[in-house]
Amino acid sequence: MVLALKVVCKFRGIASGLPTIYSTKFRCHPPVISSVFNPGISLVKLAHSLVRERVNPGDIVIDATVGNGHDTLLLSTLVGATGKVFGFDIQETAIVTAKSILQNSASGENVSLFVDSHANMKKNIPTHYHRKISAIMFNLGYLPGSNKQVITQTYSTLTALNDARELLASNGIITVLAYPGHSGGEVETDNVKNWCLSLAPEDYQVQLHENSANSVTAPKFFAIFRGGIGIAGQ
């Protein structure tokens, strides 16, 4: 919490003398979103770095968009044998690819994968894990190397983000990589930003990372911290 100085000036009548200064302190919150420009940095690697800082062995985590399984593998490695990973993707090919990656790396025993939308993740997570999820990762857009017409949708993404907020632990992190450069991506990215702006600043801090001066079409990375301020990457 930030203590800011409030200055109050009181004038006595209409005399030409200087005002009397009274100072009081009041509580205020920093803006919910802080912007960070990191030219040339890999936003994927930054997401992984921030997640590593928040996830420990034995934690429960979610890959909301499994894709090719790289985030899933990272999460599986971080939580270890005593942890649990839940992964979601609407494309069965993505789930098959992720399973192959996990098997080849001798990981995956702690992973449950669902051919389902991330909008349905809350109902697939046992209730005793609710409010205990350390990290929830989103990588929006389309599956690399597949049909670019099959993309994440704004409505389902916002539904998933609302559920993520209810699932997240008190010191957890949500990461969202958004891509405004493809068809439908700009609307989705704008809606993600507006969702972040709707969060209570006393409970959340959001970092918006960009790595390109072309802010219109360049990827955007949102790091959403619940409780405490994440400073890695700044």
- Count Cβ atoms below 10 Å from residue 2 Cβ, excluding itself: 7
- CA geometry: angle 101, 134, 127, nearest 5 deg: 95
Q: How many structural domains compose the chain?
A: 1
- Are the beta carbons of 28 and 2 closer than 8 angstroms? yes
Average pLDDT score over residue span 51-79: 97
Question: 173 lies in a domain?
Answer: yes
- Confidence grade of residue 76 (pLDDT, cut at 50, 70, 90): very high
Question: 142 lies in a domain?
Answer: yes
> How far lies 57's CA from each of 20, 80, 110, in Å?
58, 5, 11
CA-derived radius of gyration, the chain: 21
Q: Which of 210, 195, 115 is nearest to 155 (CA)?
A: 195
Helix ranges restricted to H, the chain? 43-54, 70-79, 92-104, 121-124, 154-167, 185-197
Q: Which of 89, 32, 38, 63 is nearest to 220 (CA)?
A: 38
Question: 8 lies in a domain?
Answer: no
Q: Which of 166, 228, 223, 226 is nearest to 41 (CA)?
A: 223
- Confidence grade of residue 228 (pLDDT, cut at 50, 70, 90): low
Report how far Cα 229 is from the mean position of its chain's Cα atoms.
13
Boundaries of domain holding 117: 32-226
Question: 86 lies in a domain?
Answer: yes
What's the pLDDT score for residue 31?
62
Q: What is the DSSP code (8-state) at residue 19?
A: P
What's the pLDDT score for residue 72?
97
What's the pLDDT score for residue 17?
44
Q: What is the DSSP code (8-state) at residue 151?
A: B
Kindly report the pTM of this predicted structure. Answer: 0.83
Mean pLDDT over the full length of the chain:
84
CATH of the domain at 45: 3.40.50.150
Q: Tell which wins on pLDDT, 215 or 9.
A: 215
Q: Tell which wins on pLDDT, 214 or 37.
A: 37
What's the pLDDT score for residue 145?
64
Question: 51 lies in a domain?
Answer: yes
Question: 233 lies in a domain?
Answer: no
Question: 99 lies in a domain?
Answer: yes
Report how far Cα 109 is from the mean position of its chain's Cα atoms.
25
Question: 21 lies in a domain?
Answer: no
> Tokens 């030409």 identify what position?
16
Whether the predicted pLDDT of 149 surpasses 50: yes
- Confidence grade of residue 108 (pLDDT, cut at 50, 70, 90): confident
Average pLDDT score over residue span 77-89: 96
